[in-house]
Structure 1
């Protein structure tokens, strides 16, 4: 594992091409290799955004309902976790799109939606649900698996308040999951069966009650280290595979929400953020980028066809 002091002092910059208007709740950054562009969402604005890094061109697509997480199939169709289920979204030029529901869990309470989502190394899409009223502290959320045949599983992990932090080790044999609610603040690791897509042996990987912030969205680097956005603490935390805190990278936003590696060499870490209702800084809600001194691992898209 690399030990590079510059990781702690790497320059964090706002992505100017992402525009002047901050997101309310920026989430789910995804680097799309095919068109060398970064995609992300603004949940309450019901928006998927894209920016081409070389041209600086931004495009927005507004969906019929809130969208929280996205991935792509190999034809470029978006698989999106939204308010009422999982949807296939075809994005066309100039903001045109189609929107088709594929599957939906049996939400046990009103006011729920999907939250964090990502594919495992075999291309199964995983996403969790949550009660949108976080003040209710309702552990009604669950984690689901959507496989290449288009089948949505029964809940695989239950009793989640604010599901977050999905990631897989470079070999795909360890799965990470967090609960970012203030009463939990924990990241778990699981042994992961790459053949069956079943996680097992759940254990605490990182307890942020011992560190700072709430563990939000995450990414894995080429060393197998886990980067989590420390929401409410304005930092990225890098944990080694053994769970030891390895790096802390301060950010100029109070609520970083999710990170993803991108760029031609996967050497840039893109970070979305949330804009607080009061006391927001100039950069809160904007898309950030940093070269942390380590490359990421390629993100796997959905292995089925939508």
Structure 2
């Protein structure tokens, strides 16, 4: 399947564009460039793009009830306030337990109840070190003990519409799996891990993901130039070809939640390319679910 058109939302190419999300309250998109240490936003009404510089790499962001952000970064989980100018006010919420050279948080978001989740990875993927861990963070309890361990490249976090299934992927070339867990919504505890989809024989590795109102799981096929929809039973029922080879993460948004913002990676920032590293909007023929906000004080 190929949409009629692709709309680039910014002329700025990211090195590693990640963590797109839609603010229902602000009616604008956000995403990050991890190595660029930058948070981006796009206002569809005005067509304006803005950016904020961070002191360290920001891997993922989630919206809070205070209109601010919670983020997984290099050294820990932070509360971020975007200033009127290009600066960011950052407050450390929890240190990264296994902090060290080459380790940082990667993919993250809130569950349907507003608990914040994020996983870690060893950045030099060629080393294939399975030291990644998945954590849960709440204001009351702080950072949990590792909930899932031995991850190579943690990715693909998402929850079913009723919140009772948690999805997680490992996008490393040696793993390329998507798992499903039964999820206790009262305690925020996943259990019963099983393989939801094995992408080792498919074009592309499983990267960032989103859920639609039908409970289908959309995932970017990194290196495969596509976004793929899996039914709740783990069957592929839709593949949308994209103009870039390395899409990184997708997210639903727009005024009717029927648009999808897809970020991407530019594997060679020194080479100009019309699509690599850019973020684009498509209309995939499905409707998404608004992200649950993390409960935070203003």
Question: For the superposition of Structure 1 and Structure 2, which TM-score range results when normalised by the shorter chain?
Answer: over 0.9
Give the CA deviation at 1:222: 0.7
Conserved? CA contact 1:192–1:198, under 8 Å: yes
1:40 to 31, 37, 41: 31
* 1:61 match: 52
Give the CA deviation at 1:143: 0.2
Q: Normalising to structure 1: TM-score of the pair?
A: 0.94
What secondary structure, in the 3-state scheme, does the structure 2 residue paired with 1:49 have? strand
RMSD: 1.4
Change (3 A) 1:56 1:223: same
CA distance in 1, matches of 2:99, 2:83: 35
Matched, 1:152 2:106: no
Conserved? CA contact 1:190–1:201, under 8 Å: yes
Give the CA deviation at 1:301: 1.6
* 2:201 match: 210
* 2:160 match: 169
* 1:4 match: none
Give the CA deviation at 1:9: 2.7
Give the CA deviation at 1:280: 6.4
4+ aligned runs moved over 3 Å, structure 1:
278-281
CA distance in 1, matches of 2:141, 2:25: 23
Q: How does 1:1-306 map to 2 (within 5 A)?
A: 8-16=1-9, 18=10, 20-107=11-98, 109-149=100-140, 151-277=142-268, 281-305=273-297
- Per-residue CA deviations over 1:271-302 (Å, capped at 9, x if unaligned) read 00000127764211101111111100111121
- Per-residue CA deviations over 1:30-64 (Å, capped at 9, x if unaligned) read 10111100000000010001111110111111000
Conserved? CA contact 1:82–1:113, under 8 Å: yes
What secondary structure, in the 3-state scheme, does the structure 1 residue paired with 2:157 have? strand
Paired positions, count? 297
Give the CA deviation at 1:109: 4.8
Gaps of 5+ in 2: none
Gaps of 5+ in 1: 1-7
Conserved? CA contact 1:123–1:148, under 8 Å: no
Q: Normalising to structure 2: TM-score of the pair?
A: 0.96
What secondary structure, in the 3-state scheme, does the structure 2 residue paired with 1:295 have? coil
